[in-house]
Structures are given as C-alpha cells and as structure tokens.
Amino acid sequence: MSFLQPITASQTSHFANPVVKRLVRRGIINLQQDLDKLECLLTGKDNVYLFTGRGPSSRRLHIGHLVPFMLTAGLQRSLDCPVIVQISDDEKMADHMDADMNILDIQRVGFVKDRLFIFKNTDMIGKMYREIVELSSRLRVKDLQKVFGFDDLDPLLKYWYPAVQMVPALHPESFPGLTESMQCIVPCSIDQYPFFRLARKLHNNQDHRKPIVICGSDYLPGIKSDKMSSSDPRNAIWIDDPDLEAKIRMGRSWNGIDVGLRQDLAYQITRIFEPDDRVFTQIHTDYVDLKRMGSLDLKMHAFRLLRQVFEKKYFMDSFTVDQK
C-alpha cells in the first residue's frame, strides 16, 4: 500500500461534515492519495463528484459495509457534489432481490437524494460498453495478475470486471449530470484500492484526471474473526439483524493478550458509530486506561448504539450535528 499516504489535518480542512471529521479524528479513515489536489478543485462549482460501490454478495449490508457509505455521504454534504454508486450485480451474479435490497440499505445512510445516482451494472452496461472496451484494450493480463493475484484457473469474468469498475472513475461523462472535465473522488474500503491504483496507472496515457482516493486501513472485526465478511453470515451483524444482541454478546473482548482492541467487536462498533466524542473518550478511559468498565457493559452500549443506527433518525442527526 505504498501508494497511499496518511491523511493530514490540513487535507481535511474542507470536510466540515461531523461524520467525516469523526471518522478521521478516530483514525477509522486514515489514508489518501492525491487529496492535496482537492483545494484547487473547489474554486468552481461542480468540479468534483464522488464514486463508490457495492458488490451485492449478500441480501443485506453488514455494519462494516456502512463505513465507506457514511464517509461518502459525509463528503457529499461537505463538498456539495453529486455521488454515483455502482452495484456490481454482474460480478457477483446476484439476483435482482439481493441487488435491490442492497440499494435500499445504501439509501438509508444519509445521502442528499437528489444528487445521488445508484445504478446496477446490468442496467447500465450498454451505456458504458464503449468505455469498457476502450479500457479493456489497454489492460494487460500480466498487470491484472500482479495487482489482483489472478491466475490461469480464474474465470474470464474476473479479468473483464476491473475495466467495468474503472469506468465511473475515469469516464464521468457516461453518467447523468456529470461532465468529462470533473474530478473523481473515491471513498472506499482498503480492499478496493487496487482497482483505483490500476485506474490511475491507465490515466498516464489519457487526459482524464487521476481519481483521488480516501480510505481506511482496517476492517471491522467479525464476531469470531479479524474481519466481518458476507461469506459467513454467522460472523457478521446485518442491518436490522434479529440476532443483534446475541451476536454482540458473542463477540471477542480485549484482554491485552491474544485479543487486542483491534479485534474487540464492541469497542470497534463504539469507535465507529458513537456520535459523541465526549462519550467515546470516557468509554475509552474507563474501558482501556482505568479498566473500570467491564466488557459486558461495553457490549450493551454497542447493542444500544446499533439499535439507534438501524433507525433513520441516527443518520439524520449524525450528518447535521457535531457532537465533540
């Protein structure tokens, strides 16, 4: 990840939204590429747009999926710019119900709806086809194998899909209300960075601007593993999960030996979703520094917090009130 650099305080001066400031302050979002370019781009109106996406590998989003969408929605409100969200139903071979439920979950996060364009690849493939072919003609198999770890046994779809994901970052003119001259900003999870690293490499031979990338270096831990994943439903907490309390209770707790704070599910939920910095600071002091808060108390706080997250009011309040 040598191409990514730590985010500095000066680089976030334009991000007035409380959610963005909180995610950066707490180190959840901590990496960037070319974020310094943003200041000169904001001198005019509608010079930038945000692009992120989701591969609908499950019927609902789990809570770890919410982080890049919270970041994107916060950036949209800070920069007053359009957002496009790509649903890769083709890559995941998802049925319509899975893709549509994912879209409904994304819409809950707090976007400015009249400047939000969510599309499924199967609906847009005709409009993107010329750009996909153009990008595919410049992608080399050896580069895809090097960046993504593909080998000769992988299906052709894996080699085809990177070009599909790069189109929204390099060809804004393919989408409603966007023009060719606009700069793309990509808020994403760390596992998506290779796509945009490769897109930036392709830019060297084109006039399109290299996408700016903003992401975090960590994953939300699963209930019993270091990463929450859609591939194991029992290891994830889903939006509106009926087993929410039981799953939080089963989550690992920090003990300073074989489980660190990074793997402590309740602590990480609080770190991400607690809107009040004063409350989070006090919890950190009581739980980590003074050890006078037990793991069960923290788990119950995380449970109550996620119940709020699953209500519409949480995102309405979070994106408008800075609680620090």
Positive/negative CA dihedral, 254, 21, 69, 37: negative
pLDDT at 209: 79
Question: Residue 322 above 70 pLDDT?
Answer: no
Are 65 and 108 members of one domain? yes
CB of 135 closer than 8 Å to CB of 163: yes
Are 180 and 136 members of one domain? yes
Mean pLDDT of the chain: 91
Question: Residue 90 above 50 pLDDT?
Answer: yes
Are 27 and 112 members of one domain? yes
pLDDT at 38: 83
pLDDT confidence bin for 223, thresholds 50/70/90: very high
Are 200 and 251 members of one domain? no
Q: Give every strand in the sheet of 83-87, ordered side by side.
A: 5-6, 31-33, 212-215, 183-188, 48-54, 83-87, 116-120
pLDDT confidence bin for 1, thresholds 50/70/90: very low
pLDDT confidence bin for 207, thresholds 50/70/90: low
Structural domains counted in the chain:
2
Which position has the token pair 């006078």?
A: 292
Q: Write out pLDDT tens, residues 131-145.
A: 999 999 999 999 999
Question: Residue 119 above 70 pLDDT?
Answer: yes
pLDDT at 92: 78
pLDDT at 37: 85
Question: Residue 152 above 80 pLDDT?
Answer: yes
pLDDT at 187: 97
pLDDT at 104: 95
What is d(CA 246, CA 235) in angstroms, rounded to the nearest whole number?
12
Is 123 domain-assigned? yes
- Helix segments in the chain, DSSP class H: 18-25, 38-41, 66-79, 96-107, 121-136, 141-148, 156-170, 193-203, 244-250, 265-273, 277-284, 295-309, 312-318
CB of 18 closer than 8 Å to CB of 321: yes
What is d(CA 13, CA 293) in angstroms, rounded to the nearest whole number?
35
201-237 per-residue burial string, b: 16 or more CB within 10 A, e: under 16: ebbeeeebbbbbbbbbebbbbbbeeebbbbeeeebbb
What is d(CA 4, CA 1) in angstroms, rounded to the nearest whole number?
6
Are 104 and 28 members of one domain? yes
Q: Which residue has the higher pLDDT, 291 or 14?
A: 291
Are 155 and 264 members of one domain? no
Are 159 and 271 members of one domain? no
Spell out the residues 6+ positions from residue 185 whose beta carbon is closer than 8 angstroms to its own. Answer: 38, 48, 49, 50, 51, 75, 79, 211, 212, 213, 214
Q: Write out pLDDT tens, residues 20-40.
A: 999 999 999 999 999 988 877
CB of 69 closer than 8 Å to CB of 63: no
Q: Write out pLDDT tens, residues 39-73.
A: 777 766 678 999 999 999 899 999 999 999 999 99
Q: Which residue has the higher pLDDT, 276 or 94?
A: 276
CB of 212 closer than 8 Å to CB of 188: no
Question: Residue 146 above 60 pLDDT?
Answer: yes
Question: Residue 156 above 80 pLDDT?
Answer: yes
CB of 79 closer than 8 Å to CB of 189: no
Alpha-carbon distance values, 76 to 12, 17, 37, 120 (Å): 14, 9, 17, 21
Question: Residue 206 above 70 pLDDT?
Answer: no
Domain-ending residue, one of 172, 200, 215: 215
Q: Which domain holds residue 297?
A: 241-318
Domain-ending residue, one of 215, 249, 276: 215
Q: Which of 111-125, 268-282, 304-318 is predicted with the least confidence, judged by mean pLDDT? A: 304-318
Q: Write out pLDDT tens, residues 68-87.
A: 999 999 999 999 999 999 99
How far is Cα of residue 2 from the mean position of the Cα atoms in its chain?
20
Domain-ending residue, one of 200, 215, 230: 215
pLDDT confidence bin for 321, thresholds 50/70/90: low
Is 148 domain-assigned? yes
